[in-house]
Structure 1
Amino acid sequence: MALGFYALSLWRKVWSIQRQQRNATREQQQRLGEDLKILASSLLEGQLPLIEGAIRIKVLLDNFDIGLSQDSHCQVFHQLYEATAHVPTHADWKALDKTSRRQHEKNFSELELQHKAQARESARWLLDAIATWPSRA
């Protein structure tokens, strides 16, 4: 009988931990969804550079919902991410000589011209998709 109560006590702890993990996951998903909305809106309003926005959106999407990330509407974010993956960031960017920086900046401008309309369309689609996301899950 004592073993039965002990087993029940252990199971209650397991169930409590599982509930806490589900709640933490749900909260993380909500935060990621809100961050994606902010990024997509900022990209649409021109408050965020296209390349930076696409990279950030792609990374968050991969963590938010890989299925949504792989949707054809989001392909432009992956394309821009891959096209700029080789570019140094942070201190490495600052360490580049001016010629190298200018070459990267020229590439960014060309990518923006080539993909701006599609990225804006994808950002609009993403806002709608996120708004209905919980019903998709």
Structure 2
Amino acid sequence: MQTHYWLIAAGILIILALATYAWTLWRKVWQQDEARAKALEARNDRLSGDIRIIAQSLLDGQVPTIEGAIRIKVLLDNYQGERREGLDVTVFDLIYEQTAHIPTHQAWKDLSRAERKLHLRLMDTLERDHRPAVEAAARALSKGVN
């Protein structure tokens, strides 16, 4: 009978040790989730500020309309926070889609003059046709995303 009690006591100790270990692992998971949520919140705060700055720069004429629209669209794609109701930013998607084929950086420099002129004409047309919508959306975003 005495062996039987020792086995039960050993079983209880093993169960307690495993429960303690499981509790420790769950605490780590909860802490990681909390840290991940804080990092996402900080990231969204930074992106929200960047969106506000670029929107205001676009309105002030410090950044070209097309470039500002593309930059805002990319930042909005990365922003995962809450958005204000009624915030219409579809014009940024439209401009991005219409200009996605245009080369950038060194590829732009490598284009012939005629090719650059074609792309510039497209950008001028987009800016002329969508400037009021871009400015309205930028004005809304300059007050914040949420």
TM-score under structure 1 length normalisation: 0.87
- Indicate the residue corresponding to 1:85 in structure 2: 100
Identity across the alignment (%)? 43
- Equivalent residue pairs, number: 130
Structure 1 residue 77: Cα displacement: 0.7
Q: Work out the CA distance in 2 between the residues paired with 1:29 and 1:85.
A: 25
Larger Rg: 2
1:1-137 paired onto structure 2 within 5 Å = 1-65=16-80, 68=83, 73-130=88-145, 133=146
Comparing both chains, which one has the higher relative contact order based on Cα–Cα distances under 8 Å and sequence gaps of 6 or more?
A: 2
Higher helix share: 1
- Deviations along 1:43-65, one digit per CA (max 9) or x if unpaired, are 01000000001011111111214
Deviations 1:8-42 (A, max 9, x none): 11111111111111111111111110110111010
TM-score (structure 2 length as normaliser): 0.82
Q: Distance in 1 between matches of 2:35 and 2:64?
A: 38
Q: CA RMSD in A?
A: 1.9
CA shift for structure 1 position 115:
1.2
Q: Distance in 1 between matches of 2:131 and 2:52?
A: 18
Residues of 1 paired with 2:34 and 2:112: CA distance? Answer: 53
Distance 1:113 1:67 in 2: 31
Deviation at 1:86, TM superposition (A): 0.9
Distance 1:50 1:65 in 2: 24
Aligned partners of 2:103 and 2:87: how far apart in 1?
A: 28
